[in-house]
């Protein structure tokens, strides 16, 4: 009789990371704008209070996480439900060197404006062309 | 059903897709309003015995940008989303939409319009709609015959 215990499973090389908690996770909509000096990320994070945002930058990856306080009881029955309520998570890879200490974040009415200044040597410089 | 449509090459489906593409091109210069099928914004609706609660997510909007109207059993949420313009910058990604929106929902009960309350906080609008007195459920005593 074949053993019925849990078999050792081969993992595919590009396996997706598994979630530990089962709460719903949502991807916020983000606009990304680049100026000469900085990147500006504007994200829609409705229901997130200013104390519930985590922004981190590691190895060129910028992570935006927003925790949403539950607005209804877990057993709430909806008559009509068109969207779910849960935490937000999104990551971006930045190839341009940035000035991590000067990242500024502003959260107003559920809209996050994140200003990520580029490192000094990475800023675009206009080069004067002399007519000669 | 979507999977079936993708594999369906019948002339009627092709015509349907062509018409959709034509309409998309026509509307692309107007301020885009996100389409949820039924309309923007997406709403959640729940009730208890006395009141109905309507919630929608309106990020980036303040009380000046949103209006709530109540007529009989209809609730209308309308307003405008403004997104700051950056004239000198490069846009890498543009996912959010802006512009005017309006959505009307018909509820199964008459609403007491004088007692409706609306709260907009952190981009979430919650509208509390008290049902009219005669619409609240009443327990009926069943008598043994």
Joined tokens for residue A61: 């990856």
A61-110 pLDDT per residue, tens: 999 999 998 888 777 788 888 888 889 999 999 988 999 999 999 999 99
Q: Do A34 and B92 touch (CB under 8 A)?
A: yes
* Helices and strands in chain B, H and E counts: 2, 8
Percent of chain A residues topping a pLDDT of 90: 49
Rounded Cα distance between B65 and B95, Å, is 20
Query: How far is residue A34's CA from residue B91's CA, in Å, rounded to a whole number?
Result: 6
Q: Is B63 on the interface with A (CB under 8 A)?
A: no
CATH number of this structure's domain A25-69+86-122: 2.60.40.790
Q: What is the pLDDT of residue B32?
A: 40
For an interface test with A, the pick among B53, B88, B122, B124 (most A C-beta atoms closer than 10 Å) comes out as B122
- Considering chain A, what is the average pLDDT of its residues? 86
In angstroms, the separation between the Cα of residue A127 and the nearest Cα of chain B is 17
CA distance A90 to chain B (A): 13
HEC readout, A16-56: CCCCCCCCCEECCCEEEEECCCEEEEEEECCCCCHHHEEEE
Does this model's pTM top 0.80? My answer is no
Question: Where do the domains of chain B lie, and which CATH numbers do they carry?
Answer: 1-30 (no CATH), 32-82+98-134 (2.60.40.790)
B109 class by beta-carbon count within 10 Å (0-12 exposed, 13-18 middle, 19+ buried): middle
Q: Residue A46: pLDDT above 90?
A: yes
Per-residue pLDDT, averaged over B16-44, amounts to 57
B35 close contact with A: CB closer than 8 A: no
pLDDT at B3 over 70: no
Q: Which residue has the higher pLDDT, B86 or A114?
A: A114
Among B47, B59, B89, most A C-beta atoms within 10 A, so best to mutate, is B59
Picking from A41, A10, A38, the residue whose alpha carbon sits closest to that of residue A97 is A38
Give me the residue spans of the domains in chain A: 25-69+86-122
């Amino acid at each position: 009789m074949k053993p019925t215990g849990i078999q050792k499973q081969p993992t595919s090389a590009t396996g997706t990371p598994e979630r530990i908690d089962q709460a719903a996770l949502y991807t916020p909509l983000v606009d990304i704008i680049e100026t000469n000096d900085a990147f500006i990320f504007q994200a829609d994070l409705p229901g997130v209070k200013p104390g519930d945002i985590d922004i981190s930058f590691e190895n060129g990856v910028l992570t935006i996480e927003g925790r949403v306080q539950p607005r209804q009881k877990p057993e709430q029955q909806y008559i009509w439900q068109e969207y779910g309520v849960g935490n937000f998570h999104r990551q971006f890879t930045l190839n341009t060197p940035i000035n991590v200490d000067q990242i500024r974040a502003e959260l107003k009415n559920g809209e996050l404006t994140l200003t990520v200044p580029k490192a000094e040597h990475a800023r675009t410089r206009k080069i004067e062309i002399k007519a000669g | 059903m979507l999977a079936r449509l993708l594999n369906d090459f019948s002339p009627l489906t092709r015509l349907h897709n062509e018409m959709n593409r034509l309409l998309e091109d026509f509307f692309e210069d107007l301020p885009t309003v996100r389409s949820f099928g039924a309309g923007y914004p997406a709403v959640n609706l729940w009730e208890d015995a006395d009141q109905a609660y309507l919630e929608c997510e309106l990020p980036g909007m303040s009380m000046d940008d949103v209006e709530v109207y109540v007529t009989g059993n209809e609730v209308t949420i309308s307003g405008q989303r403004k997104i700051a313009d950056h004239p000198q910058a490069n846009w890498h990604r543009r996912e959010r939409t802006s512009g005017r929106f309006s959505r009307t929902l018909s509820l199964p009960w008459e609403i007491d319009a004088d007692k409706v309350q609306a709260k907009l906080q952190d981009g979430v609008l919650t509208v509390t709609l008290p049902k009219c007195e005669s619409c609240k459920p009443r327990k009926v005593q069943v008598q043994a015959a």
